[in-house]
Amino acid sequence: SQTIHQWPATLVQPVGSPLSLECTVEGTSNPNLYWYRQAAGRGLQLLFYSVGIGQISSEVPQNLSASRPQDRQFILSSKKLLLSDSGFYLCAWSVLGQNTGELFFGEGSRLTVL
């Protein structure tokens, strides 16, 4: 069966520090991968998605970047965190080429920038 893991679950970082959130999927190949940010009262905002290794699409201009160094690994990064980067980050995957909308989500990573 397929599983998705993301870590760390909780992170407290000072402004200006770097960030790396990792997500891995097991039990499937060539998944679509996504990073969403969840803010209170604002639902889920798509940040990045990837349809293959090294292929990253960015949805909103921001202080963050994403990379996909391996087929089932998706990394969210920042060189210098801002206060506004605080939030709950969700990684998700879907079956490549299947746009039926079913996403499988990780447990989430809560980032607090102080």
Site residues (CB under 8 A) for another protein?
Answer: 32, 36, 41-46, 49, 51, 57, 59, 88, 90, 92, 94, 99-103, 105-108
- Measured from the CB atom, the residue of 13 and 108 that comes closer to another protein is 108
Instruction: Evaluate whether 32 touches 103 at the Cβ level (below 8 Å).
Output: no
Q: Find the shortest distance in angstroms from Cβ 35 to another protein.
A: 12
- Measured from the CB atom, the residue of 16 and 61 that comes closer to another protein is 61
CA distance 49 to 12: 25
Q: Find the shortest distance in angstroms from Cβ 1 to another protein.
A: 14
Cβ contacts of 14 within 8 Å, gap of 6 or more: 81, 113, 114
Q: Find the shortest distance in angstroms from Cβ 105 to another protein.
A: 4
Instruction: Give strand pairing partners of 35.
Output: 48, 91
Phi and psi torsions of 64, nearest 5°: -110, 160
- Measured from the CB atom, the residue of 16 and 27 that comes closer to another protein is 27
